[in-house]
Amino acid sequence: MSERLLITGGAGFIGHHVINSLLRDTSYDIIILDRLDTSGNLNRVHEVLEQDSSWPQRVKFIWHDLKAPINEILCKQIGKVDYILHLAAGSHVDRSIEYPMEFVMDNVVGTTNLLDFARTFTRDTLRLLLYFSTDEVFGPAPEGVKYKEWDRYNSGNPYSASKAAAEEICLAYCNTYKLPIVITHTMNVFGTRQHPEKFIPLIIKKVRDGETVTIHSNSEKTQAGSRFYINTEDVTSAIKFLIKNHTIGEKYNIVGEKEVDNLQLAQIIADIMGKELKYEMVDFHSSRPGHDLRYALCGEKMENLGWTPEKDLRSRLEEVIVWTLKNERWM
């Protein structure tokens, strides 16, 4: 009998790539738990399942909003699972600043409801619950600093605070109820079928159309914000690695190949597309609360375990650009 994996937020941008990779590279049967809000889109899953006629038989979709507990009826629908990947979350920083309680409900209460469901399994049954967190729990990173897994929290907005709170709830359930939990942090994931308002698909569209790209910068408009961008294929590679190589109760940073500022990123994209980059530096950081100029994670822990991104940033950008220009419906 195949092992069974439950993924929350499976119709989301990152979630559907994880499903694609697991169907392609493992024998897992997959249960998707999703409420299909603005982030969830079943068209993503549909396009994944179209690739192989055997894949739909291995996937089951269940609608549920985790703000409500997983009751007995849902438990029966889900059935026994060997692994849980908790990717579902409210993640829009601007919206969290305007409606912070929504993010407490989605990310703290929702995670707790999932953990209570996980308690219905024995340790012999449930092998792993992976909580997918964010670099933003550490707050802005000063120049030269890369945060390690157990560094202190310094949340800059209600979204990141709710993710940090959920991390602590996860650790409490691990310590109290001995649930087999690990936590990951990653940052600025990009890939195919990403929401068109996100930075990289927006750059692709604006460069294609000869429009001006807005680059968020410091107050002097001399330094662009920077990140460690990482492709969905590398994120899913890291998740599959951790399913087999992890220590219960630990945290792991999933980090892109290198740090790049947003102006450099836009220039790389324009260069790949063979187009001129038109851009404007804008002091977004100072005028908008809760937005930080630089985030940075240290990837040494995963590297020492034997995992690094499979391809360099430019190669991954080339793949995404080619796919996006051929599939304009997602722009």
| Catalytic center residues | 135-136, 159
Structure tokens at 195: 């929401």
Nearest to 249 by CA among 173, 182, 302: 182
Amino acid type, 243? I
Q: Report how many helices (DSSP H) and strands (DSSP E) the chain contains, helices first.
A: 13, 13
Amino acid type, 319? E
Q: How far is CA 304 from CA 130, 131, 227, 256, in A?
A: 20, 21, 22, 15
Distance of CA 309 to the CA centre of its chain: 15
Three-class secondary structure of residue 86 per DSSP: strand
d(CA 185, CA 144): 19
Pairing mode, if any, of strands 279-282 and 213-216? parallel
Cβ–Cβ < 8 Å for 126, 151: no
Q: What is the largest CA-CA distance in the chain?
A: 61
